[in-house]
Amino acid sequence: MKTAKGKGAAKRETLKPVDDGKVGKRKAAGKADKSGSKAKKGKLAKDPNKPKRPPSAFFVFLEEFRKTFKKENPNVKAVSAVGKAGGEKWKSLSAAEKAPYEAKAAKRKAEYQKLINAYNKKQESTADDGDEESEIHDDDDESGQGDDEEEDDDDEDDD
DNA sequence: ATATTGATTGTTCCG
DNA sequence: CGGAACAATCAATAT
């Protein structure tokens, strides 16, 4: 780990491409399932269904960008290349262009909160310790869950 | 053989 | 309020 580069012991990894004044960054954590199903289980399996963080607008944009990028650069094998290129392009986009991505991201976030809600309940369900200020009221369902504003942008591709 | 890193930015949560 | 951690990705690398 860590190719002996770290200064002393801090700084997570993912170092320094451009430290503007941002905060810094760190690295990811654990990857467990991969490679299809052969590996069965690595060992990092913890919670059954933990909702991962919703992709930001940038990620949503990247998903599409990656395809395009690789399509024109099938030789590129570095993920960092797409990341960098995507970052540059991202900044090149106008607010209007980012709008659809942000909208999508917003939706993801809403779903995430919902998942978290369910996830939390599940957790508290098993934990029966004493306190925990969770209102498990389970009243009736929330009302109005079907209102979908935001036009469904299902497919807008006109090729 | 599998976990990890590398790079981007945004989002989200904890102190 | 601020910052640290983590989200996808995929190939290469380290353990």
pLDDT in tens, chain A (159 residues): 444 343 444 444 555 555 555 555 556 555 555 544 444 554 545 666 778 888 888 999 988 898 888 888 878 788 888 888 888 888 888 888 888 888 888 888 888 888 877 777 666 555 554 444 444 445 555 544 445 555 555 555 445
Q: How far apart are CA A46 and CA A32, in angstroms?
A: 10
Evaluate if the CB of A24 falls below 7 Å from strand C. Answer: yes
With vertex at residue A137, the alpha carbon angle to CA A134 and CA A142, rounded to the nearest 5 degrees, is: 115
Q: Give Cα separations from A2 to A11, A142, A158 (angstroms).
A: 11, 48, 46
Distance of A76 CA from C9 C1′ (whole Å):
13
With vertex at residue A74, the alpha carbon angle to CA A73 and CA A75, rounded to the nearest 5 degrees, is: 90
Q: How far apart are CA A83 and CA A85, in angstroms?
A: 5
Distance of A39 CA from C1 C1′ (whole Å):
44
Closest residue (Cα, C1') to B11: A56
Name the DSSP class of A104: H
Name the DSSP class of A36: T
Of A140, A120, A144, A143, whose CA–CA distance to A132 is shortest? A120
Specify whether the CB–CB gap between A14 and A27 falls below 8 A. yes
Evaluate if the CB of A9 falls below 7 Å from strand C. Answer: no
pLDDT of residue A9: 40
Q: A5: which residues sit within 8 A by CB, 6+ positions away?
A: A15
pLDDT of residue A96: 83
Evaluate if the CB of A52 falls below 7 Å from strand C. Answer: yes
Distance of A79 CA from C11 C1′ (whole Å):
8
pLDDT of residue A24: 56
A78, closest nucleotide (Cα–C1'):
C11
Specify whether the CB–CB gap between A12 and A26 falls below 8 A. yes
